[in-house]
Amino acid sequence: MDAILLYIKSYLDSGLTPGAAGNWFWATVYILLVFVGLSVAVIAMNWLERKILAHMQVRLGPMRVGPHGLLQPIADALKLLLKEDIIPAEADAVVFWIAPFIVVLAAFTVFVVVPFGPTHAITDMNIGILFMLGVSSLSVLGIVTAGWASNSHYPLIGALRSSAQMVSYEVAMGLAVVSAIMMTSLSAEGGTLSMIGIVESQLEQQEWFIFKFFPLGLIAFGIFAIAMVAETNRAPFDLPEAESELTAGFHTEYSGFRWSLFFLAEYSAMIAVSSIAVTLWLGGWLRPFPSLHGPEISIPYIWPPSDASAPRGVLDFVFALFPGLTFLFLGALCFFNARRMPKHPLFKIQTMGLAGFGALLGLIGLVLFIPVARDRVTDIFWFSAKVAAFMYLYIWYRGTFPRYRFDQLMKVGWKVLLPTGLALLILTAVVGMRVELLAQVKEAFQR
Amino acid sequence: MNLTANPPVATPYFFYGLAAIMIIGGILVITRKNAVHSALALITTLLAQAALYLMLYAPFVAGVQIILYAGGIMVLFLFVIMLISIERTMKERQFNKQWLVGIAAAGTLGGLFIAVYTTTTKGRVLFPQGTVSYVEAGNTQGVANLLFDRFQGTYMFAFEIASLLLLVAIIGAVVMAKKRI
């Protein structure tokens, strides 16, 4: 028994990811945590998307199920699970059955390497970014087979559009990623494809890659930010499921549980590509302004952190308070809205529920002020906050941009993003090697 | 990061499982009448092959295998196959009558493998039993050094020639497809 406890405890001070430490217990815990966290994020995203879109269009959005519609996604999920699962008579049953699973597998597997913190990843692969791009590109197989297996016109056209779109934007996406990877090779340990290594080289160079070689990093980030919207089939690139033309595109014939799998996969793929963007250009788990520390301070029991190598400046302290403050703010928001709920007795339970939810959020916020908890999750907080910003951008795009026409989409992909990406790649290489190149030129002149 | 401290996770049973998946997938590729089913079986085979590369501590090759074959080429395969009328091909008989020659060729190849594996020259076998050194952490860098290093990179020219070959294929496809360019 003690041996088991020791095995579990031994990981905590190792400073490695569970995969690198080879610890089965913590690897399982991390996998479960990521899975649950992802599902909760998808549920929250569903609610937020409907609410934010509604507010952008001056509507209220879901208001009936739970306070401010907070329980709406759960009601939706229940409805989808109870719905009849229809397989069209003329469909290819086996392929129809497999397709949603391919998409979900591809969308969830990539989270094996997503670095939520220097130790908070399931594992760190030598080929991290390559693995993410490769596995997430497998989801197009699921979409194509879904469209074909339905044996119906709209899904087939949707699948054709989707595969054409994803294949063409993958190229530009890859070029942007390569330019970021070339930037990692300027740090002392040399270039790396590992997701944790990429963030660490940003820490070492004291610069997020989005600001590196300004404006080259910014342009690369821009290309990726456009291509990733197209990769995930979201507005304004949502032609594969254009409602007005194809009813629902490749998943027209799907219903119930299988449809909800497509839904789950779409949102977790959005989170996955956002976390690639955050890792490559926005410094991953690093807090904003990671190079500024301010004068060192010390407060008994609270600061500095127990980890001796951690920076201990006043700015570090202020940013370490952010996770707790954010949750306290969210909890206060819930209380504020609970007070504004209608005073009618029918709303009593809802008001109490909202206040209880606010109390829960506040409690989480208070826990995050405890130094042990704070030091362990600050990195997760910053990573998630950056990804959440991308999620908001996705909703914002959907609320503001009209859909592209298909030829426009192809033009943007092949005639704008691809040449820009190629030029960017060469420019990044030249600027990165400028010292060596100048030395060579000088040498050639002297000869 | 010290990877050698941990024993390898992938036991021989992983190899047996993956090999079984590959063989079953390969048989399904040639026996299914429905071309889309064949393509899906081929994807399974290619993914199992990528896993085999992982077992050989070559993660970079595995990643490229997934991106290029499973992700890129097979999508284009499916893309084309989807547009073929499945009803007609389902009725057609599979017309390859060369199974006798095929079995002979496969048997010869298998015999050759066994012969090479068991041959001893001066008491030494070609594939001696032993432990490999786990170079997983340096695989990507190793491939890059082999290709592009100024001193030991001997394959750069061959690599560039291969990419030129692909370019020729692309230009050829455009010329074939378009009457007027």
Q: Do B151 and B81 sit in the same domain of this protein?
A: no
Which is more confident, A53 or B11? A53
What is B3-53 written as a DSSP string?
-TTSPPS--HHHHHHHHHHHHHHHHHHHH-SSHHHHHHHHHHHHHHHHHHH
Q: Does B28 touch chain A (CB under 8 A)?
A: no
Residue whose C-alpha is closest to residue A270's, from A389, A167, A407: A389
Q: Do B22 and B81 sit in the same domain of this protein?
A: yes
Residue B152 burial (CB count, 10 A): 9
Q: Does B149 touch chain A (CB under 8 A)?
A: no
Domain boundary among B56, B74, B90: B90
- How confident is the prediction for chain B on average, in pLDDT? 80
Domain boundary among B90, B119, B152: B90
Residue B133's pLDDT is 60
Residue whose C-alpha is closest to residue A311's, from A326, A330, A298, A301: A298
Q: In this complex, which of A92, A94, A144 lies closest to B78 when CB atoms are compared?
A: A144
The Cα of B136 is separated from the nearest Cα of chain A by a number of Å equal to 7
The Cα of B60 is separated from the nearest Cα of chain A by a number of Å equal to 6
* Chain B residues closer than 8 Å to A127 by CB: 59-60, 62-63, 139-140
* Chain B residues closer than 8 Å to A135 by CB: 66
In a domain, B101, yes or no: no
B66 and A138 within 8 Å at the Cβ level: the answer is yes
A133 and B62 within 8 Å at the Cβ level: the answer is no
Q: Which residues does A21 contact at the CB level (< 8 Å), separation at least 6?
A: A11, A14
Mean pLDDT computed over A43-52: 91
Q: Which residues does A365 contact at the CB level (< 8 Å), separation at least 6?
A: A323, A324, A325, A326, A327, A328, A329, A330, A331
Residue B4's pLDDT is 44
pLDDT tens for each residue of A319-338: 888 889 999 999 999 888 88
In a domain, B120, yes or no: no
Which is more confident, B91 or A423? A423
The Cα of B82 is separated from the nearest Cα of chain A by a number of Å equal to 6
Banded pLDDT at B132 (limits 50, 70, 90): low
A95 and B76 within 8 Å at the Cβ level: the answer is no
Banded pLDDT at A123 (limits 50, 70, 90): confident
Give me the domain span that covers residue B16: 8-90
Q: Do B81 and B140 sit in the same domain of this protein?
A: no
B70 and A190 within 8 Å at the Cβ level: the answer is no
Q: Does B34 touch chain A (CB under 8 A)?
A: yes
Q: Do B84 and B12 sit in the same domain of this protein?
A: yes
Residue from A23, A92, A129, A141 to probe the interface with B (highest B Cβ count within 10 Å): A141
* Chain A residues closer than 8 Å to B64 by CB: 130, 134
- How confident is the prediction for chain A on average, in pLDDT? 86
Q: Do B148 and B86 sit in the same domain of this protein?
A: no
- Pull the structure tokens for residue B166: 């692909």
Residue A440's pLDDT is 86
Residue B10's pLDDT is 62
pLDDT tens for each residue of B4-18: 444 555 677 888 999
Query: What is the total count of domains within chain B?
Result: 2
Domain boundary among B64, B90, B116: B90
Distance separating alpha carbons of residues A237 and A56, to the nearest angstrom: 20
A141 and B74 within 8 Å at the Cβ level: the answer is yes
B40 and A98 within 8 Å at the Cβ level: the answer is yes
Q: Do B12 and B85 sit in the same domain of this protein?
A: yes
Mean pLDDT computed over A362-378: 87
Which is more confident, B72 or A200? A200
Mean pLDDT computed over B149-167: 82
Residue B3's pLDDT is 42
A137 and B36 within 8 Å at the Cβ level: the answer is no
The Cα of A145 is separated from the nearest Cα of chain B by a number of Å equal to 8
The Cα of A136 is separated from the nearest Cα of chain B by a number of Å equal to 9
Q: For the domain that residue B53 is a member of, what is the CATH number?
A: 1.20.120.1200
Mean pLDDT computed over A343-355: 86
Using CA coordinates, name the residue in chain B closest to A171. Answer: B72
The residues with which A299 forms a beta bridge, in sequence order, are: A303
* Chain A residues closer than 8 Å to B43 by CB: 141
Please name the residue that has the structure tokens 């100024």.
B150
- Pull the structure tokens for residue A256: 């119930």
In this predicted complex, what is the ipTM?
0.80
In a domain, B77, yes or no: yes
Q: Residue A188 above 50 pLDDT?
A: yes
Q: In this complex, which of B40, B59, B75 lies closest to A126 when CB atoms are compared?
A: B59
Mean pLDDT computed over A43-57: 91
In a domain, B3, yes or no: no
Q: Does A196 touch chain B (CB under 8 A)?
A: no
Using CA coordinates, name the residue in chain A closest to B1. Answer: A20
Q: Does A140 touch chain B (CB under 8 A)?
A: yes
